[in-house]
Structure 1
Amino acid sequence: MTLSQLQRSQKAYICTLPDNFDLSSKLIEQGFALKTEISLAHKAPFNGPLAFNLHGTKMCLAPNVAQQIGIEIV
């Protein structure tokens, strides 16, 4: 399952990051590290950005980036 498939308020753990090293590095700097608990806060309409709760804050990702992050449901 990927981060883009997460339902609102459903909790999961990040288990894989994108293969692209530069993108993975940027995500890790923003807090999207392996084994991090994450939940979907908001999904913008018309394929807009997705807002996630992690580390006590909200972070947004584009849907195409969220599709590259693997998760495991809690």
Structure 2
Amino acid sequence: MNLKIKASDIVQDKEYHILGFEDSDLQINLVEIGIMVGKSIILRHKAPLHGAIAFEVDGNMVCMRPSEAELIITEPLDSAI
């Protein structure tokens, strides 16, 4: 089963697998900060009122806007093949 979830909607402290990105000019920016297909991603903190979101990506902390997190397509690690 392939359950696709946007990074902006993942459950806090649960590990996910990055599958890809929505089509956007920001894709290159995400790759430049270490958000790449195949890496693990964990939601660590969401600021209130649609503020910044902090993720752990392969051991590194990365913060971004919710609109940027919506571009990242993930699946729960336990459903990855």
| TM-score of the two chains, using structure 2 as the length reference | 0.84
2:66 to 47, 54, 63: 63
Corresponding residue number in structure 1 for 2:43: 40
1:14 to 10, 18, 21: 18
**1:5 Cα offset (Å):** 0.6
Corresponding residue number in structure 1 for 2:75: 72
2:30 to 27, 31, 37: 27
Number of aligned residues = 73
- Percent sequence identity is 32
**Runs of 5+ unmatched residues, structure 2:** none
SS of structure 2 residue aligned to 1:14? strand
The root-mean-square deviation of aligned C-alpha atoms, in Å, is: 1.0
